Structure 1
Amino acid sequence: MSTPKPVLVVAGIGAGGGTGAAAARAFAKEGYTIALIGRRVGETLLEELKNSGADATTFPVSSYEYASIQSAFENIRSQYPSPQYSIRAAVYNVAHGVWKPFLDVTPEDIKGVTQVNVEGAFAFAHEVITEFKKNEIDPTTGKRGVLIFTGATSSIRGNVTTSAFSAGKFALRALSQSLAKEFGKQNIHVAHAIIDGGISTPLSREYRKNPEWEQNEDVRLSPEAIASSYIHLAKQERSAWTWELDLRPAHEKW
């Protein structure tokens, strides 16, 4: 019987120049089939992955409501059915940015933060872990799969304009820790990555307009370096798993 082809499901691609897209590229190089979930899943990234020889498909969602995530996974299972394929890795890279004073936070802000960090994260994790439980234990890593959540500095501390953003990120971190403890016993690896600092993306470079910052790897993160750490998590053996990484540039002071 042939070995199922491993599938990475990554949610949160954005404009295609950040962490989610970098993770897709990195896992594709490791031989994974790539399933892309997002509200904005650009054809440019999909074309790039296919041109590199990867098997990749986009699964657009209108929101991160529970039903939307469920529907996306139904389509993924249809596109990449068992036993030919098996979901072996997943990255939840979705964020909803709200940076404003507490009294300026709106009900819509709260709804957006909650949908992404609680409802969507729960739905994504539920679908992924359900699939992982069907997998045989990998003889090299000793795991059935790895689920990685992308966090932020606000996952562990609040600040003057992060009341809503931090509340969501705290929830996401707590979910990841709870799942790590509950499902580690079933050889399912759940990890959380604190991204501590600015990431060099096309959007951030356009916003900052600071070539010195862009070129100085001591003061900013690169999506590719973050993705490399995610590959490291996926390859960790069961006798020494990491639950949480704190990824920051060398000169970051936070």
Structure 2
Amino acid sequence: MKKSSAVIIGVGPEQGLGAALAKFFAGKGLHVFIAGRSEGKLQAVAEKIRQTGGTATPVVTDATVGQEVAQLFNLTQREGFSVDIAVYNVDSNIPSPLLETDVQTFTTLWQQNCLGAFLFGKEAINVMQPQQAGTLFFTGATASLRARPPFTAFAAAKAGLRALAQGMAREFSPQGIHVVHTIIDGVIDGDRAREQFPDYVKTKGNGGLLQLEAIAQTYWAIHQQPLSAWTHELDLRPFKEPF
């Protein structure tokens, strides 16, 4: 019998969603394959997981390069693991008013937020099909549903990600593969927000930010849903967040 694992791409700082998911899944007994472009950050997260008794394999991977994504999933199979959970957590955003958005910026955002999701999702499905089981998460954003300047290009990519997730859910749910699109509708309390816009974080006050552990708990709960009552799309926001 194969050992259980989770594959998470888009793992960056220790106080980030990718790392939080990896730590949580490792705490539930899954071996975690953590992927991203920064070897240093991956090694730091892997070490934290090992210190708490979990197991992790860091794999430097560019989500937009098909060969690298394929190698990531090939590694899980060579090492004898089933892939119980796969998470596409890449979230690249560049604020740019439309008339100032060049083709390269638009293309880069689409590649990182949508094309990479296609490459990752396809490889995950190929591994999960023989198992007839597995949960595939795509992490979305407020922009998945609403395009607002100066983030129109980002929203176009996130809307594409949402459409990809819908199509995959309809195609592969009957095969036992649970495809989930999560809309993160708020600011995550992590290193990224606190470093890039600390003043805004302060204005959110107590309880105004999404907590990493809370998001990870929700992902796990969705993964555990019985076959007769699956959630495809859900939105997560702090209780104080207007919507």
Q: Which among 199, 206, 217 is matched to residue 228 of structure 1?
A: 217
Give 4+ residue runs of structure 1 displaced > 6 Å after superposition.
none
Contact 1:18 1:223 in 2 (8 A): yes
Matches within 5 A, 1:167-246: 167-210=156-199, 212-213=202-203, 216-217=206-207, 219-246=208-235
The reply on whether 1:18 has 2:5 as its aligned counterpart is no
Deviation at 1:212, TM superposition (A): 4.6
Contact 1:65 1:119 in 2 (8 A): no
Deviation at 1:213, TM superposition (A): 4.9
TM-score w.r.t. the length of structure 2 is 0.93
Q: Which among 112, 118, 123 is matched to residue 119 of structure 2?
A: 123
Structure 2 distance, partners of 1:145, 1:213, is 39
Structure 1 distance, partners of 2:73, 2:2, is 18
Q: Which among 76, 100, 107 is matched to residue 104 of structure 1?
A: 100
- In the alignment, which residue of structure 2 is the partner of 1:55? 55
Contact 2:76 2:83 in 1 (8 A): no
User: What are the Cα deviations for residues 23-62 of structure 1, in whole angstroms up to 9, with x where unaligned?
Assistant: 1111111111000111124121110111111121011024
User: What are the Cα deviations for residues 94-145 of structure 1, in whole angstroms up to 9, with x where unaligned?
Assistant: 0121211001112221221121233211111111111111215xxxxxxx10
Question: What residue identity is the alignment partner of 1:134?
Answer: P
Question: What residue identity is the alignment partner of 2:49?
Answer: L
User: What are the Cα deviations for residues 213-251 of structure 1, in whole angstroms up to 9, with x where unaligned?
Assistant: 57611x111111111110011100111000011100001
- In the alignment, which residue of structure 1 is the partner of 2:37? 39
Look up the SS of the partner of 1:197 in the other structure.
Answer: coil
Question: What residue identity is the alignment partner of 1:241?
Answer: W
Contact 1:24 1:34 in 2 (8 A): yes
Question: What residue identity is the alignment partner of 1:15?
Answer: P
User: What are the Cα deviations for residues 74-99 of structure 1, in whole angstroms up to 9, with x where unaligned?
Assistant: 23333x22xxx211101100012121
TM-score w.r.t. the length of structure 1 is 0.89
Question: What residue identity is the alignment partner of 1:123?
Answer: L
Query: Where in structure 1 are there 5+ consecutive unaligned residues?
Result: 137-143
Percent identity reads 36
Deviation at 1:71, TM superposition (A): 2.4
Question: What residue identity is the alignment partner of 1:64?
Answer: T
Question: What residue identity is the alignment partner of 1:24?
Answer: A
Contact 1:200 1:214 in 2 (8 A): no
Which is worse superposed, 65-74 or 222-231?
65-74
Look up the SS of the partner of 2:131 in the other structure.
Answer: coil
Residues 1:158 and 1:209: Cα distance change in structure 2 (over 3 Å): closer
Structure 2 distance, partners of 1:71, 1:5, is 19
Structure 1 distance, partners of 2:241, 2:223, is 26
Alignment: residue pair count: 240
Which is worse superposed, 44-53 or 105-114?
105-114
Contact 2:9 2:63 in 1 (8 A): no
Contact 1:10 1:92 in 2 (8 A): yes
Contact 2:188 2:212 in 1 (8 A): yes
Look up the SS of the partner of 2:181 in the other structure.
Answer: strand
Residues 1:203 and 1:214: Cα distance change in structure 2 (over 3 Å): farther
Once superposed, what is the RMSD of the aligned Cα atoms? Answer: 1.6
Query: Where in structure 2 are there 5+ consecutive unaligned residues?
Result: none
Residues 1:215 and 1:76: Cα distance change in structure 2 (over 3 Å): farther
